Amino acid sequence: MHDPKQLTIWQVEHGANQFKLRSLHQGAHVQEVFASVWSKKTMDDVVPAFAFEFAMATASECVASSCAIYTVVTTLDEAGDEVDCERLLLPLGRAGKVEQLVASLQLISLIGNFDRKTILQRFEKLSTLKIAGKLVR
pLDDT class of 1 with cuts at 50, 70, 90: low
What is the pLDDT at residue 73?
A: 98
What is the pLDDT at residue 16?
A: 85
Q: What is the pLDDT of residues 87-97, one digit of tens each?
A: 999 999 998 89
Put residue 8 in one of left, alpha, beta given phi > 0 → left and psi -120 to 50 → alpha.
beta
Q: Write down the mean pLDDT value for the chain.
A: 94
For the chain, percent of residues with pLDDT exceeding 70: 99
What is the pLDDT at residue 137?
A: 73
Q: Superfamily assignment of 4-135 in CATH?
A: PAS domain (3.30.450.20)
Q: What is the pLDDT of residues 108-133, one digit of tens each?
A: 999 988 999 999 999 999 999 999 99
Residue 17: pLDDT above 90? no
- Ranges of each domain in the chain: 4-135
Please write down the HEC assignment for all residues of 59-119.
HHHHHHHCCEEEEEEEEECCCCCEEEEEEEEEEEEECCEEEEEEEEEEEECCCCCCCCCCH
